[in-house]
C-alpha cells in the first residue's frame, strides 16, 4: 500500500513538473522568426554588385506589416558593413502593410531613405552595399520606443541579373511586461528612452532576449546529392549588441564555429573576429580561420550542420571582444542538374535557428523634446 501511494505521488509530481516545463516552453522569451514583435531585425540587406567581373546585381525588397487594430509609428535604421548609417521613420495604420525596394526606393505606403554607401567614422572593413535593417515601434514623436507586439517583416534578396531570389522572415523581439508579453502602449516608454534592453525578463521595459547561438543546416561547399550541388555558403550575421546612435561605439565578438557531418563527426577550430554587422564567406580563402571545415573535402558527407557562437576572446582577436547573441541568415549558391547550363546557378537562403539565451541591447537617438518658443 505504501508503495502504491509512493508511485502515485511520484507520478503526480512528474506530471506537475512536465506541466511546469511545458508552460515555460510556451512562454517564449527569445527572439525568433515566426512570431510578431515590437522590434524587427533584418540581418541581410544587399544592393551589392560584389566587385567581381560579371557578378550579378543584387537588391533587397522589404515588407513590414502592422497586425494591430490601431495605428503605430515605426523607426528604422540601415547600417552597412563599414558602419555608414541612416535612419528613417513612417506610420502604419491598423492592419496596414508597407513595402519598398532598397536599391530603387520604389515604395508602397511609405518613403524609405537611400541606402547609405558611405563608411562610418572611423571606417571598418566590409562592403558598404551590404548590411542590416533594424525597425521598432515608437511614439509618433520618436521620443521613446513603445510596446507594440504586432509587427512582422520579410526581406526578399534578389539576384536581379539572373532573375532569382529568396525570402526570409525578420527576427522579431516581443516587448515584455511583469506578466509576460507587454500590453500595447503608445503613451509610455518601453524602458529607458533610447535603450532597448534585450533580456527576456518578464519585467516592465524589457524585450525578448537574443539567441545565445545559431544552428544552421547546410550542404558543404562542393558537395552533391542527387540533382543538387552547393558551390558556396555565406553567413550574414549581426550581433545583439547594437549601437545605432550618431556617436556610436563598435561592439566586437569572436564567431566560433563547430561543424558536424551526418556521421556525427565534429570539426572545430574555425573562427573569425567580427563587429556588429558582417557577411562572412564560409570556406577557404576567406576571413574564417580553418575555413576548410565547410568544404566537402573535409566534411566528407553531403549534409552537415554547424553551430556559431559570439564569444569574448582576446586573443586571438586583435581588438577587445565581448560575448554576444547572434541573428543570422545563410545564403548559398547552388547548382541544379540536369538543367540549363546558363541558368543552373541558383541563389538560396534562410534564417538560422536560434538556441540558448543571451542578453543584448539596441541603443538609438530619440528626438529631443520640443522647446518653448520666445515669449
Q: For the segment 128-174, what is each residue's pLDDT rounded down to a tens digit?
A: 999 999 999 999 999 999 999 999 999 999 987 777 899 999 999 99
The cell for 143 is 521620443
DSSP string for residues in 340-375:
-GGG-EEEEEEEPEEES-B-EEEE--PPPPPPP---
Q: Which residue has the higher pLDDT, 241 or 121?
A: 241
Q: Are residues 230 and 329 in the same domain?
A: yes
When the pLDDT of each residue in the chain is averaged and rounded to a whole number, the result is: 89
Q: Is residue 22 in a domain? A: no
Q: Is residue 30 in a domain? A: no
Report the candidate in 255, 13, 39, 253 with the shortest Cα–Cα distance to residue 138: 39
CA distance 20 to 35: 22
Residue 258 in this model has a pLDDT that exceeds 60: yes
The cell for 26 is 510556451
The cell for 66 is 502592422
Q: Are residues 276 and 134 in the same domain?
A: no
Give the largest Cα separation in the chain, rounded. Answer: 89
What's the number of domains the chain is made of?
2
Residue 365 in this model has a pLDDT that exceeds 50: yes
Q: Is the peptide bond before 114 cis (omega within 30 degrees of 0)?
A: no
Q: Are residues 188 and 251 in the same domain?
A: no
Helices (H), the chain: 2-26, 296-299
The whole-model pTM stands at 0.90
Give the end of a domain, one of 195, 228, 252: 195
Residue 2 in this model has a pLDDT that exceeds 90: no
pLDDT band at 127 (very low <50, low <70, confident <90, very high): very high
Q: Are residues 162 and 217 in the same domain?
A: no
Query: 566590409: which residue's cell?
Result: 126
Q: Are residues 185 and 261 in the same domain?
A: no
Residue 341 in this model has a pLDDT that exceeds 90: no
Q: Are residues 144 and 69 in the same domain?
A: yes
Within a 13 Å sphere around the CA of 127, how many CA atoms are in the beta-carbon half?
19
Q: Is residue 5 in a domain? A: no
pLDDT band at 285 (very low <50, low <70, confident <90, very high): confident
Q: Is residue 90 in a domain? A: yes
CA distance 62 to 82: 21
Q: Are residues 168 and 229 in the same domain?
A: no
CA distance 264 to 252: 31
CA distance 38 to 249: 24
Q: Are residues 85 and 128 in the same domain?
A: yes
Q: Is residue 169 in a domain? A: yes
What percentage of residues in the chain have a pLDDT greater than 90? 78
Q: Is residue 368 in a domain? A: no
- Count Cβ atoms below 10 Å from residue 105 Cβ, excluding itself: 12
The strand pairing partners of 235, in sequence order, are 280, 330
Q: Are residues 274 and 172 in the same domain?
A: no
CA distance 123 to 117: 12
Residue 9 in this model has a pLDDT that exceeds 80: no
Q: Are residues 104 and 225 in the same domain?
A: no
Q: Are residues 185 and 273 in the same domain?
A: no
Give the end of a domain, one of 195, 222, 246: 195
Q: Is residue 323 in a domain? A: yes
pLDDT of residue 7: 39
Q: Is residue 328 in a domain? A: yes
Task: At 3, give phi and psi (nearest 5°).
Answer: -65, -40
Distance set, CA 150 to CA 35, 51, 95, 122, 260 (Å): 9, 39, 9, 37, 37
CA distance 328 to 236: 6
Q: Are residues 95 and 143 in the same domain?
A: yes
Quote the domain boundaries for residue 49. 39-195
Amino acid at each position: 500500500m505504501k508503495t502504491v501511494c509512493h508511485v502515485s505521488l511520484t507520478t503526480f509530481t512528474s506530471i506537475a513538473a512536465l506541466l511546469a516545463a511545458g508552460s515555460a516552453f510556451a512562454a517564449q522569451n527569445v527572439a525568433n522568426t515566426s512570431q510578431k514583435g515590437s522590434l524587427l531585425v533584418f540581418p541581410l540587406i544587399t544592393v551589392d554588385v560584389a566587385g567581381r567581373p560579371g557578378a550579378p546585381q543584387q537588391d533587397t525588397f522589404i515588407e513590414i506589416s502592422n497586425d494591430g487594430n490601431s495605428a503605430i509609428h515605426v523607426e528604422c535604421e540601415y547600417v552597412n558593413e563599414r558602419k555608414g548609417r541612416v535612419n528613417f521613420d513612417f506610420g502604419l495604420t491598423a492592419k496596414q502593410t508597407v513595402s519598398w525596394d532598397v536599391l530603387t526606393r520604389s515604395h508602397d505606403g511609405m518613403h524609405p531613405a537611400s541606402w547609405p554607401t558611405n563608411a562610418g567614422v572611423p571606417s571598418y572593413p566590409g562592403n558598404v552595399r551590404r548590411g542590416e535593417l533594424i525597425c521598432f515601434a515608437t511614439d509618433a514623436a520618436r521620443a521613446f520606443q513603445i510596446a507594440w507586439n504586432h509587427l512582422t517583416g520579410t526581406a526578399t534578396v534578389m539576384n536581379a541579373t539572373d532573375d532569382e531570389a529568396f525570402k526570409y522572415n525578420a527576427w522579431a523581439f516581443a516587448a515584455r511586461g511583469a506578466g509576460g508579453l507587454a500590453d500595447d502602449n503608445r503613451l509610455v516608454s518601453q524602458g529607458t528612452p533610447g535603450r532597448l534592453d534585450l533580456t527576456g525578463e518578464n519585467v516592465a521595459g524589457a524585450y525578448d532576449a537574443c539567441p545565445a547561438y545559431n544552428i544552421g543546416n547546410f550542404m558543404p561547399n562542393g558537395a552533391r546529392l542527387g540533382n543538387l550541388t552547393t558551390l558556396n555558403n555565406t553567413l550574414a550575421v549581426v550581433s545583439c549588441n547594437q549601437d545605432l546612435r550618431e556617436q556610436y561605439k563598435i561592439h566586437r565578438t569572436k564567431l566560433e564555429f563547430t561543424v558536424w557531418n551526418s556521421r556525427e563527426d565534429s570539426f572545430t577550430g574555425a573562427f573569425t573576429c567580427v563587429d556588429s554587422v558582417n557577411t562572412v564567406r564560409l570556406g577557404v580563402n576567406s576571413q574564417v580561420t580553418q575555413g576548410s571545415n565547410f568544404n566537402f573535402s573535409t566534411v566528407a558527407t553531403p549534409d552537415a550542420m554547424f553551430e556559431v557562437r559570439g564569444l569574448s576572446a582576446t586573443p586571438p582577436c586583435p581588438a577587445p571582444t565581448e560575448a554576444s547573441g547572434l541573428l543570422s541568415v545563410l545564403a548559398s549558391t547552388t547548382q541544379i542538374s540536369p538543367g540549363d547550363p546558363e541558368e543552373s546557378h541558383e541563389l538560396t537562403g534562410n534564417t538560422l535557428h536560434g538556441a540558448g539565451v543571451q542578453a543584448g541591447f539596441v541603443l538609438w537617438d530619440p528626438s529631443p523634446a520640443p522647446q518653448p518658443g520666445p515669449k
